[in-house]
Structure 1
Amino acid sequence: MGNAKGESALTNTARTVSLGLIILAGGRSSRMGRDKAALPWRGATLLTDLLLRSQGVAFDEIIVSANRPPDLSALPPDLAARIIVVADSFQGCGPLGGMEAAFRACTCSYCLVLSVDLPFYDFSPVKQILPELAQMPQVDLFLSMSESRPQPLAAIYRRGPALEAVQAALNAGKRRVLSIADKLAVRILDDAGAPILYENVNTPSAYKAALAIDANRRRAVPIVSLSAARSGDGKTSLAVQVIAELTRRGYAVAYVKSTHHRRCREKIGSDTDRAAQAGAVQTLLCSPDDMADGEGKEEALLRLAQQMAADVAIVESRSHGPFPVLYIDGPEPPPMHPDHITAVIGRGGNPSFCYIAPAHIDSLCSYILYLTTS
């Protein structure tokens, strides 16, 4: 039986249950190199944006597990006042430590446990399972599966049994979240939403990819830009190969080429003609003559790409391509800010970038589709 706060929760003739939300935001973020919860996201942070999106579900309690006080000042006062922040009792034990503290602080029958680094989680899985909670007292863990991978940090736990299992695991020196599953009655949720819901941002390159996906979701035509420090570094040749492969996969691909020449036109053998021969459904040149008054080259390229009838647009520009940029590595430094670059076509070890070998066109096209169609 839920506590008094559960009166607003799902009711059944047999029993009443209450549902709490637990957000794990207390990790060390060692691979990211900075606090993931505070990363900018959609005008907020990963933590505050997730809290704002959670308002689509009538959670009875909201617990944030954080080992340092999170900045909640941007939240509406009524929402901020509801949030309980708890620190780990089991320090340095990863998500299980945060779960233990949060389960103890929560009084609800069930808890949705979410990692803070899930920028695309839309709460649809929990909305789907809500009507069944009151009828399934034997289920301790509703475990989502995405592409055959369990998602224990985006799952619903029955608080009492889960707390006991977590404490037993920690006392036994275990750290893996899934180590508690053997102690719980588990129901697998195979149809648990699109894989993008469970994409997390553990590294700088994953964060950049998430920013690119989010930007492209807001565009009429999603784009990627191909860039290099110098002319002749292979931008057009690579664009042609990408267009041909994406076309082979069934996508309508457009091509926008930046040029500094005025009064230019498309002609046989030109870059735009090569793109058309590779399968581009539409090609455009963007010269200074095509820019509106007060418009920069980057804005003009993006505007032209949005006017094209295509599934994906490939923009080629040495230094003005709109985000996200796939940069062809070379001996000279990139002509744009590193934050603008999502991936590097080449080899390297900077964790801020995803690296793709130039010969791996199949991998490159799969990455482009990940950024543009997720």
Structure 2
Amino acid sequence: MDIRPLSDVAGVILVGGRSRRMGRDKALIPLGGKPLVERVIDAFRPLFERILLVGDRGERFASYGLPVFPDIHPGSALGGLYTGLVRAGTPHVFVSACDVPWPDPRVIARLCSLREGFDVVVPRTVGGSEPLFAVYGTGCLPAMERMLREGNYRIYDFYPEVRTRYVEQAELADLVTPARTFVNVNTPEEFETIRNREEGMAIKAVSFVAKSGTGKTTLLEKVIAELKGRGYRIGVIKHDAHRFDIDHPGKDSHRLAAAGADTMLIASPEKLALVKKYDESPPLDELLATYFGDVDIVLTEGFKKSSLPKIEVHRMERSATLLCRGEEHDPTLVAVASDAALALDVPVFDLNNPAQVADFVERTFLAAGAA
């Protein structure tokens, strides 16, 4: 990539967050052998002559040899952005949070190239604006100062007051998939999803999720039949939020379990069943590693809070909204099977055509070289 470093745009990385939901400093979590903040720094170095970090506890980042400025108005991303603009000494800055695992320099360069005549250049995807991966000019400072005095910290609230250029997803389609570029990390579960996507899962698995009454079990059984017909070995995990029994009073297996056995296995010439007691639901990765080493892929039903890639099953009659898009923007969503045409940032397949869904699963997870 031949990009000449910009002298009139500085790179600003916000490192002042407290990472409360993560439980540890997000900036320094290693991914692929590098802390997340270093991945952003590496993306910035060929683009900007000046790079600065904004946040307290600057000693954490001394090894990078970059200036670190404490927040002038601590406690919010808006305050960090304001500090970056004040301290940069350039007409514009490109700001990024420190927890962006895949910051694409081509996207950053494209956004910076649109800055002339604008105070803000911000990408907009189906999930909304991306205010912490955007260009800001010093013309924003008066509006920022007023909002900080008023205690309003929502960055996008001042956009109508300045010259704002929204960059739609289609304008970046030739460069990269926005769903990957604008991902950030807030919780351990989200980081596990990103780690799996970065490093690849030892056992391939995808979860079918849906609101109740949409027919996900019906679709799943048809997808299983499709894939079995293509010669694949399929594992299935069904999530049950309630208690269940696979044996019944009067049976020897039930008597042995009732006597206090913690693990009991029933074996016959053609199948076996394992009954194992847990105090709480066992971790999904433990189930995959322990019981599914002999299959090509595991399809799960449920587990909507897991870090697995997800296919959402949607029926318009049941609900006009999705589980994984709307109030929640689940970065693990990879496709939707729906009975209605939907404009989304992931592929949408016909709910009544299980072969389409099976084709996607095969192409994405089972084809040679699929990650």
Q: TM-score if structure 2 supplies the norm length?
A: 0.58
Q: Which whole-Å CA distance do the structure 1 matches of 2:121 and 2:60 have between them?
A: 31
Q: CA deviation at 1:198?
A: 1.0
CA distance in 1 between partners of 2:53 and 2:86 (Å): 12
Are the aligned partners of 1:243 and 1:280 in contact in 2 as well (CA < 8 Å)?
no
Asked if the contact 1:152–1:177 (Cα under 8 Å) also holds between the matched residues in 2, the reply is yes
One-letter amino acid of the counterpart of residue 12, structure 2: I
* Aligned counterpart, 1:203: 187
Tell me if structure 1 keeps the 8 A contact 2:21–2:186.
yes
Letter of the 1:215 partner, please give it: E
CA 1:178–1:243 in 2, change beyond 3 Å: closer, same or farther?
A: same
Cα 1:339/1:157, change in 2 over 3 Å: farther
Distance in 1, Cα, partners of 2:283 & 2:126: 38
Aligned residues: 262
Please tell me whether the aligned partners of residues 140 and 184 of structure 1 are also in contact (alpha carbons under 8 angstroms): yes
Match of 1:253 in 2: none
Deviation of 1:334 after TM superposition, in Å, equals 3.0
Is residue 2:156 matched to residue 1:178? yes
CA distance in 2, matches of 1:344, 1:205: 17
In 2, the alpha carbon distance for the partners of 1:139 and 1:111 equals 12
- 1:281 corresponds, among 217, 226, 230, to 230
Cα deviation for residue 21 of structure 1 reads: 0.6
Aligned pairs for 1:315-326 (under 5 A) are 316=235
DSSP-derived class of the 1:104 partner: helix
- Please tell me the residue identity of whatever aligns with 1:66: G
**Structure-2 residue corresponding to 1:334:** 282
- Alignment-derived partner of residue 47 in structure 1: 37
C-alpha distance in 2 between matches for 1:339 and 1:112? 43
Note if 1:117 corresponds to 2:99: yes
Deviations 1:310-351 (A, max 9, x none): xxxx6x499xxxxxxx9887852537877999x996679xxx
SS in 2 for 1:161: helix
- 1:281, CA displacement in angstroms? 3.0
Which amino acid is 1:204 matched to? P
Q: CA deviation at 1:165?
A: 2.4
Q: Determine if contact 1:225/1:317 at 8 Å carries over to the other structure.
A: no
Aligned pair in 2 of structure 1 residues 347, 278: CA closer, same or farther (>3 Å)?
closer
Q: 2:204 aligns with which of 223, 233, 237?
A: 223
Quick check: 2:12–2:51 contact (8 Å CA) kept in 1? yes
TM-score scaled to structure 1, two decimals?
0.58
Instruction: Give the secondary-structure state (helix, strand or coil) at the position aligned to 2:122.
Output: strand
Shift of 1:42: 1.2
2:191 & 2:287 partners in 1: Cα distance? 11
161 and 337 in structure 1: CA distance in 2 versus 1, 3 angstrom threshold: same
Partners in 1 of 2:190 and 2:50 — Cα distance? 30
The yes-or-no answer on 1:88 pairing with 2:71 is yes
Measure the CA separation in 1 of the matches of 2:300 and 2:97. Answer: 28
Change (3 A) 1:21 1:202: same
Residue 343 of structure 2: aligned partner: none
Counterpart of 2:119 (choices 130, 140, 145) is 140
Instruction: Give the 3 Å change call, closer, same or farther, for CA 368–183 of structure 1 in structure 2.
Output: closer
Q: Residue 85 of structure 2 is aligned with which of 88, 96, 103?
A: 103
Verify: 1:354 aligned to 2:306, yes or no: yes
Return 5+ residue gaps in structure 1 as ranges.
Answer: 1-7, 11-16, 227-237, 246-274, 285-313, 319-325
CA change 1:240–1:68 in 2 (3 A) is farther
State the SS of the aligned residue for 1:102.
Answer: helix
Map residues 183-332 of structure 1 onto 2, 5 A cutoff: 183-190=161-168, 191-192=171-172, 193=176, 194-216=178-200, 223-224=204-205, 242=220, 244-245=222-223, 275=224, 278-279=227-228, 281-283=230-232, 316=235, 332=278
Distance in structure 1 (CA, Å) of the matches to 2:128 and 2:33? 31
The alignment's C-alpha RMSD in Å is: 4.2
Closer/same/farther in 2, CA of residues 338 and 103 from structure 1, 3 Å limit: farther
**Cα shift at 1:125:** 2.2
Structure 2: unaligned runs, 5 residues or longer: 208-215, 244-276, 290-298, 315-322, 325-331, 336-345, 347-363
What letter is aligned with 1:283?
Answer: Y
